[in-house]
Amino acid sequence: MSIATHLLKAHRVGIRNFKEHLSTKSLREPLIVTDRGTPVSVNLPYSDVLELLDIVDELSDLATVSTIYEGRNAIRLGAKGIPVSRLFDRIRSKRQ
């Protein structure tokens, strides 16, 4: 499940309730803190934050973005993919 899907399904809690019961809240799942029903803050598990930072880092690399764009165009034009296991085998063989 993606982070966006987790956020859409995240439990919502009012800011007053959050402050009063912070020690009893489970902080292992995404939690949206609201003020009068309006989202004001999001609490994410540490692993989700690391995943987001990794994605942002990858998307800031122009070579990676270019490769993604080329791959999407190839798929749109009907290119056939290769199994991930074969791709990893190719990468490993090039490293040796």
User: Where in the chain do CATH 3.40.1620 domains reside?
Assistant: 3-44
Q: Which fold has domain 3-44?
A: YefM-like fold (3.40.1620)
Q: What is the pTM of this model?
A: 0.51
Structure tokens at 7: 């956020």
78 Ramachandran zone, left/alpha/beta (phi>0; psi -120 to 50): left
Tens of pLDDT, residue by residue over 2-32, are 667 777 777 788 888 877 777 666 677 788 8
Spatial CB neighbours of 75, under 8 Å, sequence gap ≥ 6: 81
